[in-house]
Amino acid sequence: MEHLSQEEWVSKLEKDDNAVIIDVRTDDEVSEGIIANAIHIDIYKGQEFVNEIEELDKNKSYYVYCRSGNRSGQACSIMSQLGFENAYNLEGGILEWEGDLVDLD
């Protein structure tokens, strides 16, 4: 697991053909906007979160974010414990995100 600044996170993401973006925020937070192409897996769903993570391909790279970087850091730790080698936490989360967001509605 690595904690990356937005610049590092985006740079690595853009060069990664095996990338998956994961938003671990709540449904209410996601309704305010999500990074394009992200999949939503709410970390607050406990075992359901773990179950969904376990279904993911461990050979891919995961770029994980939340509101501030705290929950996504926890998510990356969980992923590492489950055998994922490439999990990247967005430091500062969506609060410091300078890119576009898409509305899911």
CA pair distance 80, 77, nearest whole angstrom: 5
Q: CA 54, 73, 82: angle at the middle one, nearest 5?
A: 25
The full 3-state SS of 24-69, as one line of letters, equals CCCHHHHCCCECCCCEECCHHHCHHHHHHHHCCCCCCEEEEECCCC
To the query of whether residue 76 is one of the catalytic residues in this protein, the response is no
Residue from 66, 78, 87, 94 carrying the catalytic annotation = 66
Whole-number Cα distances in Å, 38 to 35, 81, 94, 102: 6, 22, 12, 10
Residues carrying an active site annotation = 66
